[in-house]
Amino acid sequence: MAKRYEITAEQKEELERERKKNKKKRIEKRLRALVLRAEGKTYEEIGKISGYHPSYVSQLVSKYCRQGLSAIVDNQYKGNHRNLSVAQEEAVLEPFKKAAQDGQIVEVSAIRAAYEEKLGRSVESSHGQIYNVLQRHGWRKVMPRSKHPKRASEEEIEASKKLTVKSEN
């Protein structure tokens, strides 16, 4: 049988104090759901009042009882999920930058291999992480202008321009 979490009177007071201090709507909604549970409402009733699914309300209550108020109030999302710092990325790209300046062709697969070696694990290519690193450091894909293999020569093109009749307006 699943464990039942009950919110005590002291915890309810703590939630009320936090509601008064809070200024964020999402956190307010979570705190309100917890206060309603402390008042004895069922998960279904809280779901109808708050707009949350009853199972999410159950998860909120268990998370609060196990981890405390910080699990509900604190921002769980932190920024900058890069694997390496910008300086470390620059160090990985430095030999390739020198090779490119010397006129050599630099392939992304070689850069990816060096990046993975520095990181110590594989990097998923489907997410384009290496291309994001390259873009962050000002690299871009440079290719020669494409030419059709059966394209006419420059002399033939010029000759055909001379043979065309210009319409008079």
Q: DSSP letter string over 7-48?
A: --HHHHHHHHHHHHH---HHHHHHHHHHHHHHTT--HHHHHH
Task: Give Cα separations from 79 to 15, 54, 156 (angstroms).
Answer: 27, 30, 59
DSSP code string of the chain = -PPPP---HHHHHHHHHHHHH---HHHHHHHHHHHHHHTT--HHHHHHHH---HHHHHHHHHHHHHH-THHHHS----S---SS-HHHHHHHHHHHHHHHHTT----HHHHHHHHHHHHTS---TTTTHHHHHHHHTT-----PPP--TTPPPHHHHHHHHHHSPPPP-
The reported pLDDT for the residue numbered 110 is: 92
**What tens-digit pLDDT sequence spans the chain (169 residues)?**
567 888 889 999 999 999 999 999 999 999 999 999 999 999 999 999 999 999 999 999 999 999 999 889 887 776 666 688 889 999 999 999 999 889 888 888 999 999 999 988 888 766 788 888 899 898 887 777 777 888 888 888 888 777 666 666 5
- Predicted confidence at residue 27, as pLDDT, reads 92
The answer to whether 21 and 33 have CB atoms below 8 angstroms apart is no
The verdict on pTM exceeding 0.85 is no
Give the pLDDT confidence score for residue 81 in this predicted structure.
Answer: 62
pLDDT, position 98:
92
**Confidence (pLDDT) at 168:** 60
Please tell me the predicted confidence (pLDDT) of residue 149: 80
* pLDDT at residue 126, as a whole number: 64
Say how far apart CA 2 and CA 96 lie, in whole Å. 57
Determine the pLDDT at residue 153. 84
